[in-house]
Each structure stands twice: as C-alpha cells, then as structure tokens.
Amino acid sequence: MANSSERRLPRLEDVAERAGVSHQTVSRVINNHPNVSKPTRERVEAAIAELGYRRNTAARSLVTRRSHTIGVLASELSQYGPANTLLGVEQAARDAGYFVSIAAIREVSAESIADAARHFMDQGVDGIVALVPHAGTLQALEKLNPDVPVVVVGSSGEGRFSGAMVDQRMGARLAVEHLIEQGHRRIGHISGPQDWIDGSERAEGWREALAQAGLADDLLVEGDWSAGSGYGIGRKLAVERTATALFVGNDQMALGLLRAFGEAGVRVPQDVSVVGFDDQPEAGYFTPPLTTVRQDFEELGRRCMDMMLALLEDGAAAGTTVVEPGMVLRASTARPVAHPG
C-alpha cells in the first residue's frame, strides 16, 4: 500500500469531479473570472480546500505559453505613495494567481527604463506595470514598443498603453473646496516636485478650485515630498503669514510644516488651517490630527490587475481606469478667526 508521500497530488480534474462542475469552471474560479455564480464558486472553493489542491504553475505555463509573471517597473519607493501603490499591485497580482518581478529604478532615465524593460522581456513576463511617476515614462516606453500589454499606474495612458490612476486633480479640488467651505479666501499650496505627475496634477487641481471660486492662486511653494522640506517652508511661512489656509501636497511635508508652525507659535487650525494628501497611517496622530485626502492604493492595485487581465485574457483595447479619492476630516482645519494683514 502506498504511503501518504507517494499519493498522487490532486489535479484540477479532481476538483471538478468533487464539485460537480466542468474543469473550465474550476479554472474560472481559480482565475477570479466574474462569470461564475456565487453558489458555484463556493462549491468549487470548498472542493479545493477539501482536496488540498494547488495549481502547478510550471505545467500550466507549458500549456498556455505564459509565465504568469508580471513585471513591475518602479521608482521612488522611499515615498509613501509609490511604495503603497506597489504593495497594492503586488497583492492584487497574487490574488489573481500571478507572480511579480520588480525592477526598482534608482535614477529615472530613458536608459534605465529601457534596461528594466529588456530585463522583463528576457524573463518572458506576460505584461508590464509601470509605477514610475515622472512625465517622461510614457515617452520612454513608447519608444521601446514592448510586445506585451503595459499598464501605466498614475497616468491616463497614451496610445497602446492602458492607465490606472487615482484622480489627483479631484483630490486637490476636494481639499481646496473644503477650505473654501470653511470660509478661507487666501489658500496657499505647498506642492510636490512639478516633474512628478502627481505633483503637477495636484497643483492644477488647486488652481482649478481657486479659479472656480474666483480666488487668487499666487501662493505656491514647491517642496520635495519630504518632512524636511515642509519644515523649511513652514519656517518661512510662519514669518510671512500670507494665507489663512494651506493645501500641502503630501502628509510628510505637512508633518514638517506642523513642526515649524508649532515652534513659531502659529496655531493650527486657529491661525492657519492645513490639509495634507495621502492619509498615511500616522496622519491621525499628528499634532493636531491631520485633515487629508485619502488614496485607496488597494483599490488602485485591483483596478490595475483587472485591466491587465482583460488585456491578457480578452485582448481588450487599451483604456483608463480611475479611482476617486476622498476627504478625511480631522482637527487641522477650521473656520478662519483672523486674516493676515
């Protein structure tokens, strides 16, 4: 009699027989295909759990001619937004049964993007996700013309590429509109670097909201996303006191700004209201807790992989998917009690 180590591992056909469905239905459940009823999905999942079935990715690759690997081209991973976007994409890829190969670029250039893309082609990836938040990324990829689907995260995409993005302009408008509703009329912006797509889009959203309200957009100071740059800018603004409210391009710069204001005796929100962007986990523990704009990185990752799977499975045309941000109201904003002279 064969011992347990010699027993044949359960196959997809065994799961289909146990669940009383076709092997195509089992495949759809494993690949999270939407066209499976809830009772059928639950029956197949129960059979998978009972039998201890695990798909043989190597054998599957031989049949489908696919590696079931997605190449992720990433940069600026020390920043909260890109790092959490990567986590969202990686989790969504695993949920869809794909491995992720990451190429982290230290310095963004056409050459570094080309090197990473060629590396992915050598690996035989099924598709490429680009998480490089600079305007030149699309142009560099267009020149390479890779022969696999490409989804550019943080961009609306161009030409044959698809895009998956959080609506950065909408997020900025939400922040400024909240401050306007509070009664503020002098609203400045501490922006991120303007060669970043997110930085320029948030600045444009700030301008649009002010223009809609007939307010001036003459107070913009560019930072570098770091708490240190927010602190340096905050020290200057604490002296100048030219606005009653500030929309800050990310929570890290807002953290530095709050520190500078606290040292200078500028009260938030009594003297100046402050809104950040990202809703990083620590934002609710700043002093005061920070009103900010939340980006749903998990949803962005899911949308990105949904688009990639549609390109791979159905040959869908390139398109764009957009995730809407939302406001998180905390204690750093209030109605103005004094106007700068």
pLDDT (0 to 100) of residue 8: 65
CB atoms within 10 A of CB 143: 10
Residue 62 predicted with pLDDT over 50 = no
Instruction: Please report whether residue 288 resides in a domain.
Output: yes
pLDDT (0 to 100) of residue 55: 59
Which residue has better confidence, 192 or 34?
A: 192
pLDDT (0 to 100) of residue 107: 84
Which residue has better confidence, 158 or 56?
A: 158
Confidence band, pLDDT 50/70/90 cuts, at residue 254: very high
pLDDT (0 to 100) of residue 128: 94
Whether 251 and 270 map to the same domain: the answer is: yes
Q: What is the mean pLDDT of residues 84-93?
A: 90
Reported as a single tens digit per residue, the pLDDT across 103-117 is 998 888 889 998 998
Whether 81 and 41 map to the same domain: the answer is: no
Q: Could you write out the DSSP letters of every residue in 60-111?
A: HHHHHT---EEEEEEE-TTSHHHHHHHHHHHHHHHHTT-EEEEEEESS--HH
Whether 79 and 107 map to the same domain: the answer is: yes
Whether 105 and 194 map to the same domain: the answer is: no
Instruction: Please report whether residue 189 resides in a domain.
Output: yes
Domain around 145: 66-166+297-323
Instruction: Please report whether residue 10 resides in a domain.
Output: yes
Confidence band, pLDDT 50/70/90 cuts, at residue 325: very high
pLDDT (0 to 100) of residue 137: 81
pLDDT (0 to 100) of residue 60: 47
Q: What letter would DSSP give residue 337?
A: S
CB 125 within 8 A of CB 67: yes
Three-state DSSP class for residue 142: helix
Whether 41 and 70 map to the same domain: the answer is: no
Whether 129 and 176 map to the same domain: the answer is: no
Instruction: Please report whether residue 60 resides in a domain.
Output: no
Residue 88 predicted with pLDDT over 80 = yes
Reported as a single tens digit per residue, the pLDDT across 217-236 is 999 999 999 999 999 999 99
Please give the mean pLDDT across all residues of the chain.
Answer: 88
Reported as a single tens digit per residue, the pLDDT across 122-171 is 888 999 999 977 877 878 888 888 888 999 988 776 677 899 999 999 99
Q: What is the pTM of this model?
A: 0.79
Q: How far apart are CA 280 and CA 296, in angstroms?
A: 11
Q: What is the mean pLDDT of residues 57-78?
A: 71
Instruction: Please report whether residue 328 resides in a domain.
Output: no
Show which of 20, 36, 55 is a domain's final residue.
55
Contacts of 147 (CB under 8 A, 6+ apart): 121
Whether 301 and 159 map to the same domain: the answer is: yes
- CATH code, domain carrying 197: 3.40.50.2300
Q: What is the mean pLDDT of residues 186-201?
A: 95
Total number of domains constituting the chain: 3
Show which of 15, 34, 55 is a domain's final residue.
55
Measure Cα distances from 215 to 11, 184, 219, 332 in Å: 66, 10, 11, 22
Q: What is the mean pLDDT of residues 67-77?
A: 90
pLDDT (0 to 100) of residue 110: 87
Which residue has better confidence, 241 or 58?
A: 241
Whether 222 and 174 map to the same domain: the answer is: yes
Whether 288 and 174 map to the same domain: the answer is: yes
- CATH code, domain carrying 30: 1.10.260.40
pLDDT (0 to 100) of residue 7: 57
Instruction: Please report whether residue 329 resides in a domain.
Output: no
Of residues 110, 266, 288, 295, the one with CA closest to residue 198: 295
